[in-house]
């Protein structure tokens, strides 16, 4: 398939051997996350953890990966990113099993779901896509930092955002009422806002944690269940008119795998990549230091209510 981004990096031939490295993939039971787990397994990652809210899909994904790859060490941990308590249990479980964490893929997300709140009372896109991952990162940070000096390679966090950050409302993030369903916004604005937050938060994390690389990225437009049937039909038609196809989940995992494994000098921390290896096409708002700091401080305040 010819696409503007899929030809530049191949999961199979360009990923270095990942022996010894431990990885977590949120939303690793389906779509791009599952393809990422498969690519990690093929590259001999030491231990892959699928964090998913759905045990049945998690088990099915592990079985599928095991049937295609000889003896991967792969473990399912239940984690519902809409619940701080569930995230805390998942982080505790992980920390009991593994003393190290080399690669964290913040991949799970909801997109264009109806108005709602997470179990802790935040707008549902923002609560799952940004705040849930922010808590997971916070709880895993001691393990990530402990891993840094142990190997000559980087410890990296890949944050799946989207080119649809531009759906965010005017002002970028409407911080004042994130503890409502934000009925004044469209679902596109709510999704775009959460994905802009992914980019801004990654940038701020990168500024504060210089020994870890944090890489926000767009995976491409990928044929997964995050889109409803009608959206897929529409997008397929638009892409065909342009002479392209939607990416497969395996192709969609390439930017994540590139960010996780490309040579240190080629990957900048805190910079948004879209497509593979191309930095700097991110939103102007991602350069808005004031907004990034405001988001950081709000996020810390909210997370500290739970774990402070």
Nearest Cα to 216, choosing from 260, 173, 251? 260
Distance of alpha carbon 227 from alpha carbon 164, whole angstroms: 13
Distance of alpha carbon 253 from alpha carbon 219, whole angstroms: 7
Give the residue with the Cβ less far from ligand NAP, 113 or 293. 113
**Number of residue whose CB is nearest ligand NAP:** 31
Query: Which of 15, 22, 25, 32: binder of ligand NAP (CB under 6 A)?
Result: 32
Give the residue with the Cβ less far from ligand NAP, 125 or 213. 125
- Asked if 6 interacts with ligand NAP (CB under 6 A), we say no
Four-point Cα dihedral 56, 57, 59, 65, nearest 10? 160
Four-point Cα dihedral 248, 285, 277, 48, nearest 10? -60
Count of residues in contact with ligand NAP, rule CB under 6 A? 30
Query: Which candidate in 34, 122, 138, 195 is catalytic?
Result: 195
Residue 191 annotated to the active site: yes
Query: By three-state DSSP, how is residue 186 classified?
Result: coil
Distance of alpha carbon 116 from alpha carbon 122, whole angstroms: 8
Min separation Cβ 239 and ligand NAP, Å: 11
Residue 195 annotated to the active site: yes
Distance of alpha carbon 18 from alpha carbon 155, whole angstroms: 12
- Residues 189-228 within binding reach of ligand NAP (CB under 6 A): 218-219, 221-222, 224-226
Please state whether the peptide bond connecting residue 203 to the residue before it is cis, i.e. omega within 30 degrees of 0: no
What token pair was written down for 268? 């900048």
Min separation Cβ 19 and ligand NAP, Å: 26
Min separation Cβ 240 and ligand NAP, Å: 16
Q: For ligand NAP, which stretch binds (CB under 6 A), given 27-35, 201-209, 267-275, 283-291?
A: 27-35
Min separation Cβ 252 and ligand NAP, Å: 6
Spatial neighbors of 100 by CB under 8 A, at least 6 apart, are 22, 143, 146, 147, 150
- Residues 119-138 within binding reach of ligand NAP (CB under 6 A): 128
Query: Which candidate in 191, 201, 209, 273 is catalytic?
Result: 191
- Asked if 276 interacts with ligand NAP (CB under 6 A), we say no
The set of catalytic residues is 191, 195
Which residues of this protein are in contact with ligand NAP, per CB under 6 A?
Answer: 26-27, 29-33, 52-54, 57, 79-82, 107-111, 128, 160, 162, 218-219, 221-222, 224-226
């Amino acid at each position: 398939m010819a696409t503007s981004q899929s030809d530049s990096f191949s999961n199979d031939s360009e990923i270095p051997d990942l022996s010894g490295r431990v990885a977590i993939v949120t939303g690793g039971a389906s779509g791009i996350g599952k393809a990422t787990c498969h690519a990690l397994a093929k590259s001999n990652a030491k231990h892959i953890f699928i964090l998913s809210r759905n045990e049945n899909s998690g088990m099915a994904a592990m079985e599928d990966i095991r049937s295609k790859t000889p003896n991967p060490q792969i473990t399912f941990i239940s984690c519902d990113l809409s619940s701080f308590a569930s995230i805390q249990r998942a982080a505790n479980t992980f920390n009991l099993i593994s003393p190290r964490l080399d690669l964290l893929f913040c991949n799970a997300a909801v997109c264009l779901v109806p108005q709602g709140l997470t179990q802790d009372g935040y707008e549902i896109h923002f609560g799952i896509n940004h705040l849930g991952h922010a808590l997971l990162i916070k709880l895993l940070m001691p393990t990530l930092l402990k891993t840094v000096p142990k190997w000559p390679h980087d410890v990296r966090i890949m944050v799946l955002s989207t080119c649809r950050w531009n759906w965010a409302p005017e002002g970028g993030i409407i911080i004042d009422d994130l503890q409502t369903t934000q009925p004044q916004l469209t679902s596109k604005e709510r999704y775009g806002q959460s994905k802009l937050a992914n980019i801004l938060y990654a940038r701020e994390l990168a500024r504060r944690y210089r020994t870890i690389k944090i890489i926000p990225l767009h995976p491409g437009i990928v044929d997964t269940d995050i889109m409803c049937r009608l959206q897929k039909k529409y997008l397929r038609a638009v892409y065909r008119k342009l002479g392209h196809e939607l990416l497969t989940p395996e192709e969609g995992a390439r930017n994540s795998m590139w960010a996780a494994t490309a040579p240190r000098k080629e990957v900048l921390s805190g910079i948004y990549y879209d497509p593979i290896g191309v930095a700097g096409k991110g939103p102007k708002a991602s350069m808005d230091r004031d907004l990034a700091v405001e988001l950081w401080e709000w996020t810390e305040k909210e997370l500290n209510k739970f774990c402070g």
